[in-house]
Structure 1
Amino acid sequence: MQYSLGIDLGTTTVAAALTDETKKVYPYKSTINLQYYEFGLDSVKRIQNGLDKNSVGKLQEKAVATINSLIDSFKSELGFGYEDIKEIVIAGNTVMEMAFCGYPLISLSKPPYKPSSEIFFPENTAYIPGLNIKNKKMFIFPVLDGFVGGDTVASIYYLDMINRAKPAFIADFGTNVEIALGYKDKIYTTSAPAGPAFEGGNIKFGTTASSDGAISEVNLENGIFKTKTVSGSRPSGICGSGIMSIVYELLKEGIIDENGRILPPEEIESENFNVIMKNEENGENEIVVYFDGKNAVKFFQDDLRQFQFAKSAVKSASEILLEKFKIFSYNDFDVFISGTFGSHIKTDIIDLIDIFPFKGKNIKAIESSVLNGCLKYILSARLEREKDIENIIKKSKNFPLSGSAIFQKHFIKNLIFQRLSL
């Protein structure tokens, strides 16, 4: 039996899909990107640690080791050999794809923040040192810009934007949030500098959705948070969807104000004010999300600020893209969210806490548009898929936001939280 492997090479999480010659698709697998343990969640840190050929080698080594661990997991489960994998298809952001191929990231560290024109993505695994799949076909999705990578191209390809009858909007929530909007001959893209909060990054009790005990959803009842974890085990941290769920409950109960301040109990009308605890050392108000008498999970003012910045970045980037596209001249458009964040959040909460500039849309969550795009590429006819990717590259126009005065204007405005009257 011959197999093909799709890889979503994320900054924080790397996911894999396997299919065989009968077109059977096996359950997806995912793991933490080993780069995370040395370089953190931040793409900027990856760039700073991969400016030349020598330093990028460590990033490449960690990415390859992460992919090898996923291959080994499938291999031990299904009993095949490395030689039985005939091809691998990879999609990631520009930093991840360049680092995987061993290209120095110096061009992404300074204006105009674009990949070097000299790079090419190899079509054989022989070019990737240490990869356990030797001398096999490889396809790496092409990038659109310095901060809009092959993962966005894979999402556009999966949604078949170039052949859709009406526009589609997709936001892929990762360490940054990459956004695409379009149909037929018109595809616009951008990257929202949201930071890692949507993946639990820069949050004191933050964690990834794949971690044991990650809180993915809460309900505030009788002064206590009822928590739900992805794994069903005891809460130990908060992943992106859990953070959004907490913010929603706090807004609903009037525990935080429009400026994102956690209010003291005396300013709160709700009877649920007793989830607030004052830190005696610094005097700040803290939110107790979980406490079992011994173990606690808390949400802090600084955590709320991180989410506030991320929320504003996504809404601002979306507004700019929608305005450029003149989307509101269309009668209708479809809205999708993707990423591990998107697969755990209730989509109506996204509407209520003002992540996007449109209301009342039926938001459809996709577990991984990137991995689905890799699978679609594997399972499609060669000439057809090559033509589709070529057309996506030709028809896509990117709008960089770095240093944009328009983005800053939108960003400041969108820091405000809307009041919830439920």
Structure 2
Amino acid sequence: MFTSWVDGRWRTAWSSSREISVSVPVAVTFMPSGVTAWVSEGETILAAARNAGVPIAASCAGRGTCGECGVRLVSGVLQEADAVEKRGLTRAPDGVRLACQARVSGHVTVQPLISLGVQAEQFDPVAGAELVAAIDLGTTMVGAVVIDRKSGREIGRSTVANQQSVWGADVLSRLSASVSGEDTALRESAERSIVAALEAAAPELLLDISRLVIAGNTAMEALLAGADVSSLATYPFVIPRSRDALSGDSSLWPRLRDGVRIEVVPPMASFVGGDVLAGLVAMGIAPGGHPVMLVDVGTNAEVVLATKKELFVASAAAGPAFEGGGVSSGGPAIEGAVSSVRIHEDGGVHLETIGDAGPKWFSGAGLVSAVAALRRVGHLDSSGLLDEKGPLRDRFTQDGEGVLGVDLGDDTCQLRVTQLDVRTIQLAKAAVRAAVQLVLSRAGVRARKLSVLYIAGAFGGALEVGDLVELGVVPEQSGDVVEFVGNTSLRGAAVLALDDTLWSEARSLAASALHVDLAVDPEFNTLLIEGVELEPFHAR
């Protein structure tokens, strides 16, 4: 009897000439990181990415429909694309394979088209520093900041991809995966993401952190805690027990110093999470003065309204479009992402990118800006229908499935906006608009009476108020009081890490909040349908 390595398989030949084939692990290497995972032949690239902790965008949760998980084959051989993958590739760039469908035949090296990389800044710590840290556990990205509690000096901050993205871009996909038995893998992915963010913000200083405060939406916090999320996955969407306490076997404990305090900001309602509560603390929002509204825009859009006596909260599923997911040429708001688009009457297109780097893809803000720009020059009507007639007529094409789109990119980068992308933005903005309208209505507050309307989240940083008003995302009467305030979740978590006295105020706010449950509100669907129109609106 002898053994030999042949075509990625161990084959055992017996003297009787009888041959038995046994599938064994093969290596899948991801560039540019060089991280390798060993999987069985016939496994998908996306499954290998999960094993390796490599974040790959997959809005459709691996069903082969979104085209986001495209990878280029650097070396090796993949099995031939099946019918599902071929359909998915009609909306992906040429010459790529879909990680969720492509199956390995042997050792391969691949490079994801969308690199969910790390952004970090570090500053030299001072001698004798007492370090505290804050985490914003977002659905798409995870932010971290490390601060010297004594001096208040920031030691470092970072943003990394949430490694749970391989289970889908939205919270419901991940809740479904958890209920289906992926709860441990999802918890570990969240833990790895937090550690990666802290290491990027403060390399080699993790053991000096004495306190860590984590804020996230209700689902992200529950998945991190390893809680049973079945009650959150179906109506009436009940907050899971033990959703704001880490399990004793969490991998975070051994990565930090002995005796470290790890605290999770509690949620306010089913899908109004600790990230929103942290934002209220950061902005000093509470009942008692003129009406103030906070809209935290992400895959889940949360709306908070503080009036003279009460605090109203609501949430609506906006989908991943506002964070650059679920669209043809979208990606996270990191260096190189397009943040603003201007279209000139002569057909010229001007793109602004984060960090003034070469364009890679649209951030959520960039896509909203592109839709607003197309609307202004007549390539979009109020119903959201794309029209080739206009200054960019030579840039319009149809893909293999007959979907019309326009390329706003240049020779270095294709930046396609399709009819399906426009519909995705319409649904996302309609959810926000409906939530804003219903919260105002239930509180008995007119939009013109708002003293300020804060737009929170990475989405708002590069937007112009005019785009939001013209597309009907925020009420026309409130345009003059809109303020973009960035990542209030991370800011609030940092404030709570620095000041113990604010925790009682935070818990009081959470306890007093009045939840406007949009899932059972008879007006929500009507307002949602009305809200898809791409035109200014007056709130009732």
TM-score in terms of structure 1 length: 0.90
Q: Does 2:136 align with 1:8? A: yes
Q: Structure 1 pair 163/145, CA: closer, same or farther in 2 (3 Å)?
A: closer
**1:79-158 alignment, distance < 5 Å:** 80=205, 82-116=206-240, 118-119=241-242, 121-122=244-245, 128-131=250-253, 132-134=255-257, 135-158=259-282
Q: Structure 1 pair 307/275, CA: closer, same or farther in 2 (3 Å)?
A: farther
Whole-Å separation in 1 of the counterparts to 2:338 and 2:437: 30
**1:172-191 alignment, distance < 5 Å:** 172-183=296-307, 185-191=309-315
Whole-Å separation in 1 of the counterparts to 2:160 and 2:288: 33
Does the aligned pair in 1 maintain the 2:457–2:488 contact within 8 Å? yes
Whichever residue aligns with residue 64 of structure 1, its letter is: E
Q: Does 2:158 align with 1:29? A: yes
User: Which residue in 2 is equivalent to 1:364?
Assistant: 483
User: Which residue in 1 is equivalent to 2:173?
Assistant: 45
**1:22-421 alignment, distance < 5 Å:** 22-36=151-165, 38-51=166-179, 55-76=182-203, 80=205, 82-116=206-240, 118-119=241-242, 121-122=244-245, 128-131=250-253, 132-134=255-257, 135-162=259-286, 165-183=289-307, 185-210=309-334, 212-221=335-344, 222-265=346-389, 270=390, 272-274=391-393, 276-279=395-398, 281-292=400-411, 295-328=413-446, 331-359=449-477, 360-380=479-499, 382=500, 384-418=501-535
Q: Which structure has the greater CA radius of gyration?
A: 2
User: SS of the residue aligned with 1:327?
Assistant: coil
User: SS of the residue aligned with 1:402?
Assistant: helix
Residue 330 of structure 1, CA deviation: 7.8
Whole-Å separation in 2 of the counterparts to 1:60 and 1:231: 32
Whole-Å separation in 2 of the counterparts to 1:112 and 1:125: 26
| Higher RCO structure (Cα 8 Å, ≥6 apart) | 1
Whole-Å separation in 2 of the counterparts to 1:180 and 1:298: 34
Does the aligned pair in 1 maintain the 2:217–2:267 contact within 8 Å? yes
User: SS of the residue aligned with 1:234?
Assistant: coil
User: Which residue in 1 is equivalent to 2:29?
Assistant: none
User: SS of the residue aligned with 1:161?
Assistant: coil
Range with bigger deviation, 3-12 or 98-107? 98-107
Does the aligned pair in 1 maintain the 2:396–2:404 contact within 8 Å? yes
Whole-Å separation in 2 of the counterparts to 1:280 and 1:98: 40
Q: Structure 1 pair 316/164, CA: closer, same or farther in 2 (3 Å)?
A: same
Whole-Å separation in 2 of the counterparts to 1:419 and 1:378: 41
Range with bigger deviation, 389-398 or 322-331? 322-331
Residue 125 of structure 1, CA deviation: 8.2
Q: State how many pairs are aligned.
A: 404
Residue 403 of structure 1, CA deviation: 4.8
User: SS of the residue aligned with 1:299?
Assistant: strand
Whole-Å separation in 2 of the counterparts to 1:349 and 1:329: 18
Does the aligned pair in 1 maintain the 2:232–2:270 contact within 8 Å? yes
Q: Structure 1 pair 24/320, CA: closer, same or farther in 2 (3 Å)?
A: same
Whole-Å separation in 2 of the counterparts to 1:83 and 1:404: 48
> Higher helix share goes to which structure?
1
Whole-Å separation in 2 of the counterparts to 1:254 and 1:108: 43
Q: Structure 1 pair 155/361, CA: closer, same or farther in 2 (3 Å)?
A: same
User: SS of the residue aligned with 1:28?
Assistant: strand
User: SS of the residue aligned with 2:480?
Assistant: coil
Residue 74 of structure 1, CA deviation: 2.9
Residue 40 of structure 1, CA deviation: 2.2
Whole-Å separation in 1 of the counterparts to 2:447 and 2:484: 25
Residue 333 of structure 1, CA deviation: 2.0
Does the aligned pair in 1 maintain the 2:337–2:363 contact within 8 Å? yes
Whole-Å separation in 1 of the counterparts to 2:398 and 2:446: 47
Whole-Å separation in 1 of the counterparts to 2:401 and 2:226: 46
Q: Structure 1 pair 4/312, CA: closer, same or farther in 2 (3 Å)?
A: same
Does the aligned pair in 1 maintain the 2:395–2:408 contact within 8 Å? no
Whole-Å separation in 2 of the counterparts to 1:400 and 1:217: 34
Whole-Å separation in 1 of the counterparts to 2:481 and 2:324: 25
Residue 280 of structure 1, CA deviation: 6.6
Whole-Å separation in 1 of the counterparts to 2:242 and 2:437: 33
TM-score in terms of structure 2 length: 0.71
Does the aligned pair in 2 maintain the 1:144–1:153 contact within 8 Å? yes
Whichever residue aligns with residue 129 of structure 1, its letter is: S
**CA RMSD of superposed structures (Å):** 2.2
Whole-Å separation in 1 of the counterparts to 2:295 and 2:198: 28
Deviation string 1:346-394 (CA, Å, 9 cap, x unpaired) is 23321222101243322111121111111221222x2x31320122022
Range with bigger deviation, 130-139 or 320-329? 130-139
Residue 75 of structure 1, CA deviation: 3.1
Whole-Å separation in 2 of the counterparts to 1:83 and 1:95: 28
Deviation string 1:54-75 (CA, Å, 9 cap, x unpaired) is 5211111001101111221233
Residue 183 of structure 1, CA deviation: 4.1
Whole-Å separation in 1 of the counterparts to 2:447 and 2:217: 31
Whole-Å separation in 1 of the counterparts to 2:407 and 2:416: 5
Q: Which runs of 5+ in 1 are unaligned?
A: none
Q: Which runs of 5+ in 2 are unaligned?
A: 1-128
